[in-house]
Structure formats: structure tokens, C-alpha cells
Structure 1
Amino acid sequence: MDTRVKYSTPGLSAEARDKLRPGIAPLTGVGATVKQLTALAVMLVPFAGFLLALQRVIAGTFSTTDVVLFAVMYFLHMGGITMGFHRYLAHKTFNTSRFFEGLLLICGSMAAQGPIMFWVTTHRRHHTYSDQPGDPHSPNLYGKSLGAKIKGLWYAHMPWMLAKDISGWNFFAPDILANRKLFFYHRSYALWIVLGLVIPAVIGGLVGGSLSAAFNGFLFGGLARIFLANQAAWCVGSVSHMIGSKAFKTDDKSANNWTVAILTMGEGLQNNHHAFPGSYRHGIKWWEPDLSGWILTALGALGVVWDLRFPDEKTIRKLSLDRS
């Protein structure tokens, strides 16, 4: 029996549809154009803001407030993605209150990585087809030559967002689709992006007392933050699936890359994560750089989050490549 989710795909041949993997549908016409234009905006607009911020750094026309705004907004951005979108929504590794759930999802939406239905379905699809055909951003599908590896890294970093396909909502995220409280954050996604740009602009203007200071806040805490934080986040799907160490047996090329992990609050520990996707901590060893895992542990002790899932020692030993 064919278990694939069926989608309306006007203009696509039956032969082409049959090549699709379960849960993936092609986009044609206006749908494909809208997706590609949106992806280009996400890539290019923050890049332009980053270049303007860099110009101000070189010229020395920035302030301590701008640096603090960048750092604080970077933390909220990355925390919202790794703890909210990823470990809470996509993998259900812990439970929390409605208030903290909202805080996480608003911060994650400020990252401009796509609304929650796009983010969760894309990520669950990545785990379903990790480093196989159907993985939306694998760097390992182009061959073994140096040129093929460079092409794969580049594609997995950003151009994958231009692909003319879509991850099925009913297939990969029926739980979120059925939850009207969660779906609210999907529908209000654009509002939170704007809020993530307005907040640093307002704070910068109030502290600096000028429109120029407000614009700097907008650049450093807004656009430049989005650009640099997302460059780090996209390294998780590209660099951390090709470069790094492996501690556990998995069916893919996921690797632990500490540089990426430090920049992404633990997300670069991809081999650990793919071995134990249901774990709230990506750092299996306490000393592995997983700031999000450490924060969730502390929040668990305070009662802000609960039902924190973590593999037992037997499960860890079973998958460990180090049997010494």
C-alpha cells in the first residue's frame, strides 16, 4: 500500500511525482516563486544590515550599547531556536508553562528562520531522511571529491532554502497543526520578526538619545544579529554534517563540531543529537559545550520546565563508539 501523503501538483507529471519521497511535495508556479523570494529576502536583507553595521565598526561610529544589544538579542534569538523551536517543538524533550512556551516561541520567531510549521516540518524531515535523498540540507549527496564536498557544504548552508518543494504539514507535524494555541505563533510570525527589529531600535534610541542611535540599535541588535546568528545556525546542517568527531553510532554523517556548538548554544553537537534526538541535552558529557542544555537543567531545578528527557546509561553505552 502506498503510504505517501498525496498533494495537488498541477503541471507535474505522474513519473516526477513518483520520485518524491513520502511527505515531500513539489512546488510549482506562484508557490515556488513566493518561497524563493522569501528565502532570498531572509538571506540578503540581514546581509545588507550586517554590511552597514560592519562599516560602522570600521569607522568607530558604534557604542557599547550597540554591542550589548547585539549580544542580548543574539542570545534570545539562539535560545528561542534551540530551546523553543528545536528541543521543545520539534522533539518534545521537555514540558513547560504556557507563559514560558510563548516566550520561547516568540524569541524563536524573531530569528527569521521561518514560521514554526516550516521550521518543525523541515527539521523532522531532516531527521527522517538524514544524509539521504529527501534530506532538505545534507552536504553529503554530491560525491566524495573535494569539489563535490565544497558544493555540498555550500548547498546545505543556504541554497537549499530555494528548493522547489515543501515538507508536508500533515505528514511531519500533525500534532502542531492540530494545536490552535501553537498555531497562533505560526500565524503571527511576521509580527515577532518586526518586534525583534523594533526592540533594539527603541532601546538604542532611548539610551543614545538620537535617531542615529536608534538606527544603530536596529542594525546591531536587529539585522546584523539575524545575519550572524543564522549563519551560525545554518552551519549545524552543513558543517556539522561533514566536519567533526563522532562519539556514537548513527546512520548518517552527523558530527560533533565544538566551534559550531559554542556559536549555537549546543546545536553543533550533531552526532550526539542524532544518536539521541529525544534528549533535552545535546551535551551527553557534562563538559561538552551545550549552553541550552545547561540552561534547561537550571530551569528544571527551578520548576520552569519539567519532564526533561535524557537517555539512561545503558542506552548511551549501547550506541557509544568508545567501549573502553
Structure 2
Amino acid sequence: MSRPERLANLAGVVVPFVGVLAAILLLWNQWVDWIDLGIFAVMYFTTALGVTVGFHRLLTHRSFRTAPWLEQSFAVMGSLSVQGSVMDWVADHRKHHAHTDVEGDPHSPHVGHGSGLPGLWHAHTGWLLETQGQADWKKYAKDLYEDPAMRKIGKRFPWLVVASLLIPTLLGYVLHGFTWEGALRGYIWGGLVRIFLVHHVTWSVNSVCHYFGSRRFDIEDKSTNVAWLAIPSLGESWHHNHHAFPRSAQHGLKRREIDLSALVIRGLERAGLAHDVVRITPERQAQKAIQPDREREKVLTPS
């Protein structure tokens, strides 16, 4: 990828966030205030954790176990992110792991769309129009397909999309003194802006975290760790670590690798709401780490 392409891709990730911050500053005390940001934050973390802890670490990889009522609650929270039904999300992601960065991967930036920006566009957004929701539930999400409660949540996805917009609208209406302007502000900041940012962060894990960043484990795919995405992604951007150890409940494997989703799982465990939490010992990590001679070989061998 050329330098201009790299800069263009970085701009595509950063500019939307800068735009939202600029909008907050320009509209402060006119069309956005602490109430609006509070509604945004509650909706962002609720739905993002529904994806990272619920859809991903619990339902896709079974990184920990929990009671059926909490499992179903996480499935509903993830559905409120408006990233597709729980059945489609889990099946697509398991298919991604089964064919990572090779033919069959639903959203690799390295397969079928050329190099550089075309591949990154496919991984970030284009795949939504081509391959999203095409993974066979019976093959890639059989456990969910055979669970009546999960099938019911999946079928109700359209209604959950409505709820995802209605909840912040009602919060804005009430918290701003039962005004229609407050309802509109809740709809915009807790609904539209929040969905946009949660989507953009998730898509960045698909695209950026398979192209830029660091690697330290000897695995065949092209996944990477991207530190500056760690906080907004709630720890999902330690994506190379995740591909090295897919069932690990903790993606940030080092102390300095911030992983808010892992902290939530730890809190659930301490509260007695999570058990059989999968953790990777330092010894296992060392076994899979890239050795200095192997690293030199990879650098010297033409790709």
C-alpha cells in the first residue's frame, strides 16, 4: 500500500470521530449538552458491550459461561447495536475465523478485492453489501440455531432496531423536561450518532486490524494489534492476540493492553455471574510467540 493510500485510510477512520467532536463543540448548549452526552454514553457502552462481551466473546467463542437469562440479555444488547441479528453476527464471525484472510473470509481486506484501499473498503464497509449474513447458521452457529430463545431474539431483530432508536428518544424526551426538542436530541445523539460510531469502530477491527499495527505471535493470518483503537473498541483492537488465542476472554494479554470488555467479564466472574472463564497462561503465550530467527526469516523471505 502506498503512503497516500495509508493516509487516506487513516483519515477515513479518524475524520468521522473528529467530525463528531467538532459538532459537539459547535453545538454545545444549543443542540448538545451533558444530558445528551450521558444518553450517548449509556447507549454506546450498553450496545458496544453487547457486541464485544455478548456477541463476540460469549456467544461466538464461548470464552466464559453464564446463566441463560444473562446470555439472552447480552444477545438483546448486541442486537441493539444494529449490526445484524445475533444468528447472522455469530455465523459470520465464526466463518471469518474458519477462513481468516483466505478465500471464504466474509470481510478480509486481502482476498478478492485487490490490495490497498479497495480491499480495505471491502473489509470496512463493502462486505455489508456483498457477504454479510450469508454464513450458514446450521454450519457456523448450530448451537444458537438449536436454541429456541436465540432464534426468537434473532427473528425479533427488526423490532430491536426500532427499540434501539426509541429508547434514547424517550430518554431525551424525559430528561430534557418532556419536550419534543429533547426527544429529537436523544434520537440524534443516543440513536443515530451512537449507532454510527459503534459501527465504525467495529468495522475498523475488520479492516484496520488486518492491515496496520503490530504482531508478536507466529500465526498464519494477517491480523494485527492496534493500540489507539483499544478504548473505543473496548479491547477488541488487540485483534492479533485474539486470533492467536480465539477462546481467550481477555484480548489485551499484557498489563498495558487496555481491555475494558475483559474487565467487565472479570466483574461478572467476581459477582458469581460468569464461570469457566478462559485465560491464556504466559507459558502458552511464549510457546506461540515469534522467535527472533523466525522473525528474521519472515522479513527476509519475499512475500
TM-score (norm 2): 0.84
Q: Does 1:101 align with 2:34?
A: no
How far is the alpha carbon of 1:54 from its aligned partner? 7.4
Alignment correspondent of 2:47: 77
Q: Deviations over 1:122-157 (max 9, x none)?
A: 10110011000111111122688xxx2111111110
**What is the letter of the counterpart of residue 42 of structure 2?**
V
How far is the alpha carbon of 1:228 from its aligned partner? 0.9
Q: 1:155 aligns with which of 90, 101, 122?
A: 122
Q: Distance in 2 between matches of 1:305 and 1:320?
A: 29
**What is the letter of the counterpart of residue 96 of structure 2?**
H
Secondary structure of the corresponding residue to residue 262 of structure 1: coil
**What is the letter of the counterpart of residue 65 of structure 2?**
N
Secondary structure of the corresponding residue to residue 95 of structure 1: coil
Alignment correspondent of 1:176: 144
Q: How do 1:1-324 and structure 2 match up within 5 A?
A: 58-60=26-28, 61=30, 62-141=32-111, 148-163=115-130, 166-209=134-177, 210-321=179-290
How far is the alpha carbon of 1:307 from its aligned partner? 0.8
| Seq. identity, % | 35
Q: Distance in 2 between matches of 1:53 and 1:241?
A: 27
Number of corresponding residues: 272
Whether the aligned pair in 2 keeps the contact of 1:52 and 1:219 (CA below 8 Å) is no
Q: Distance in 1 between matches of 2:62 and 2:73?
A: 16
How far is the alpha carbon of 1:113 from its aligned partner? 0.3
Q: CA separation of 1:164/1:78 partners in 2, compared to 1, >3 Å: closer, same or farther?
A: closer
Alignment correspondent of 2:8: none
How far is the alpha carbon of 1:58 from its aligned partner? 2.9
TM-score (norm 1): 0.79
How far is the alpha carbon of 1:55 from its aligned partner? 6.0
Whether the aligned pair in 2 keeps the contact of 1:257 and 1:268 (CA below 8 Å) is yes
How far is the alpha carbon of 1:237 from its aligned partner? 0.5
Structure 2, gaps ≥5 residues long: 1-15, 294-303
How far is the alpha carbon of 1:315 from its aligned partner? 1.8
Whether the aligned pair in 2 keeps the contact of 1:53 and 1:219 (CA below 8 Å) is no
How far is the alpha carbon of 1:56 from its aligned partner? 7.3
Structure 1, gaps ≥5 residues long: 1-46
